[in-house]
Structure 1
Amino acid sequence: MSETKRALITGITGQDGSYLAELLLEKGYEVHGIIRRASTFNTHRIDHLYQDPHDPDARLFLHYGDLTDASRLVTLIAKVAPQEVYHLAAQSHVRVSFDEPEYTGNTTGVGTTRLLEAIRMAGIDTRFYQASSSEMFGATPPPQNEDTPFYPRSPYGAAKVYGYWIARNYREAHDMYAVNGILFNHESPRRGETFVTRKIARAAARIKLGIDTDVYLGNLDAVRDWGYAPEYVEGMWRMLQADEPTDYVLATGTAYTVRDFVRFCFDHVGLDWQEHVKFDRTYLRPTEVDSLIGDATKAQEILGWKAQVLPPELASIMTQAELDAHRG
């Protein structure tokens, strides 16, 4: 009987981390997650996966840790000795990164170095996934693939570029199995409420139910490539099962504006979006990313991965989830 695989997920309480934990548990993994200590519970996305750690059959374990605490990361890596590490944790809100550029760089950028160095110092044989981002492309015209030059337009994008290159450096300098998953926008009902897609879906549902009357948004002309998060975490897993480590773009290859997404959500509830959407310049970024459209040909050819859920269906999934949640 083969040994149970162990995986460590940073950012396990986030959207992607929760879906990835589900996927790995379904595949029979023992899953360990790093969570930050907080004065309030922040595990709601994974509460349904909870297992008593004292149960001999338990396969989900949570550990306190932080990307700014290098010694703790070394201790955890050595203790867990995972065969796979999925590094998803970050300060991941692009607009907030302009307000907190140093913190974003320290966690999203240098935090990746601390984790890679912890793996190297522990001397374990593991496969490492780095959550890279389409925001690294920034101002570079679409379509964007693995060979497209980076031109980040935010502290978040710049920090992700650092994380991308440090992962490649550890792959090339230390012969580490490290891959960069350059994921374009991927959403779900578990997206944080401050992210634009969730904000729009939530607003459409609340306005339909008479709870709210308006929603305030920034740039409606930004073009994005939106996919469905559960499909993207399967792509992450496939990257670490490949024979050789390399970097991949995951995307739908479709282009829709924020305005389109607004229309899809409000159409789902039978409302005219133009009667309820208001402009608020405080949501504009100092430097905007106009268009991100990914080319995932490499992932399809090597990993057999292809996005199935496209933005119109995604908007309906998210808006219906909000309706269901508010109706109880």
Structure 2
Amino acid sequence: MAKSALITGITGQDGLYLSELLHSKGYRVVGLVRGQNNPKAARLEESHPFVQIVSGNLLDLSSLMRAMTFAAPDEVYNLGAVSYVAYSWQNARLTSDVTGTGVLNMLEAVRLFQDTTGKSVRYYQASSSEMFGKVQEVPQRESTLLWPRSPYGVAKVFGHYMTINYRESYGMHASSGILFNHESPRRGVEFVTRKVSRAVARISLGLQDSITLGNLDARRDWGFAGDYVRAMWLMLQQDQPDDYVISTGETHSIRELLDLSFSVIGIEDWSSLVHVDPRFFRPAEVDLLIGDSSKASSVLGWSPEVSFEDLVTMMVNADIALESKKLPGNPS
């Protein structure tokens, strides 16, 4: 019989790519969507008609239990979170509840479902490189001390250790992917990579004049989301659960991101088109994140396939195509 998978956070970029991957492998895919009349659910039904949608909320254990009963999953991928780091300082409590306590609720729902039905469920937790924060080791690996520098990072640490605790306390097949920054044309426009690709596209089309950013010297290890969801799936195919850093092993600055993005539209000197505003600086900056994914390579056989250059080009071109529809005379 075909496997069944339950995905929280399915309307985000990772959820969309993961659902496509699982569907291609013959899974029954169930997606948890929060609230009634959620506009994201309607868009999901249109773009991914193979996904069965179930209503639920990571803050409501009873709704998660109902979702588990409906999905009867072989695998659960907990991707749901308040995931915009800058927002987490403005709403630290909500971020902590959803991104932290939500993990505990999902783990408990899986445990209770297993105890009630006797069915074995494999669980994936979306951990984050933001947990490393004030980095204590370069590059960062699974054993690196966690030192989060944002409410989001703190909440992710809670979820990460809770996943380990359930694995060790209850023998659950629970694995965490410590994913470094991963992007795509499906990334939200509030994230810096998409903010840049969208602005560059609009500048090329004459729809805006400039872009305003924060710290141009911050460096990140950026990969393609489509590559990273493949690692999630591979983790749950292993005999033993474990934690894995997923990264490219390369680091690039915001300036490099701008160089590549503007080069796609033939602009070499972007200095007059980019403004720096201190309002966009983080209260506690994470300056250098770069991951060591050698464990994932050796155990999972995973490696990234899309380069940083190809990723940036993909995103700018996708936004040019999207923004072109807004020009007069073009169909919407």
Q: TM-score range by the shorter chain?
A: over 0.9
Instruction: Give the equivalent residue in structure 2 for 1:156.
Output: 152
Does structure 1 retain, via aligned residues, the 8 Å contact 2:247–2:292? yes
Q: Spell out the pairing of 1:119-158 with structure 2 (5 A cutoff).
A: 119-123=110-114, 124-140=119-135, 141-158=137-154
Superposed structure 1 runs of 4+ greater than 6 Å apart: none
Match of 2:192 in 1: 196
Indicate how the Cα distance of structure 1 residues 283 and 213 shifts in structure 2: closer, same or farther if over 3 A, else same: same
Distance in 2, matches of 1:236 and 1:259, equals 30
Cα distance per residue 1:155-188 (max 9 Å; x no partner)? 0000000000000000000000000000000000
Partner of residue 26, structure 2: 28
Deviation at 1:270, TM superposition (A): 1.1
Q: Are the equivalent residues in 2 in contact too, given 1:13–1:46 (CA < 8 A)?
A: no
- Long gaps (5+) in structure 2: 326-332
Q: Percent identity among equivalent residues? A: 47
- Cα distance in 1 for partners of 2:122, 2:132 equals 25
Quote the Cα distance in structure 2 between the aligned partners of 1:5 and 1:232. Answer: 21
Equivalent position to 2:66, from 75, 78, 97: 75
Q: Structure 1 length normalisation: TM-score?
A: 0.95
User: CA separation in 2, counterparts of 1:280 and 1:38?
Assistant: 38
* 1:142 shift after superposition: 2.0
In 2: Cα distance, 1:310 partner to 1:163 partner: 30
| Aligned residues of 1:226 and 1:310 also touching (Cα < 8 A) | no
TM-score, normalization by structure 2: 0.93
1:275-311 deviations in Å (ceiling 9; x for gaps):
2111111111100000000000000001110112222
Is 2:205 aligned against 1:206? Answer: no
Q: Secondary structure at the match of 1:241?
A: coil
Corresponding position of 1:233: 229
What is the Cα deviation at residue 39 of structure 1? 5.2
Aligned length: 318
Deviation at 1:45, TM superposition (A): 5.8
Q: Structure 1 residues 46 and 280 mapped into 2: Cα distance closer, same or farther (>3 Å)?
A: farther
Counterpart of 1:315 in structure 2 is: 312
Could you tell me how far apart the structure 2 residues matched to 1:98 and 1:18 are? 27
Q: How large is the Cα RMSD of the aligned pairs?
A: 1.2
Q: Which runs of 5+ in 1 are unaligned?
A: 52-59
Query: How many Å separate the matches in 2 of 1:190 and 1:250?
Result: 19
Letter in 1 for 2:313: S
Quote the residue 2:329 is aligned against.
none
Give the match's secondary structure for 1:152: coil
Pick the aligned partner of 1:110 from 86, 89, 101. Answer: 101
* Equivalent AA in structure 1 for residue 48 of structure 2: L
Structure 1 stretch 267-276 or stretch 196-205: which is displaced more?
267-276
Residue in structure 2 matched with residue 57 of structure 1 by the alignment: none
Which of the residues 158, 176, 181 maps onto 2:177? 181
CA distance in 2, matches of 1:16, 1:155: 21
Cα distance in structure 2, aligned partners of 1:79 and 1:285: 41
1:49 aligns with 2:40: no
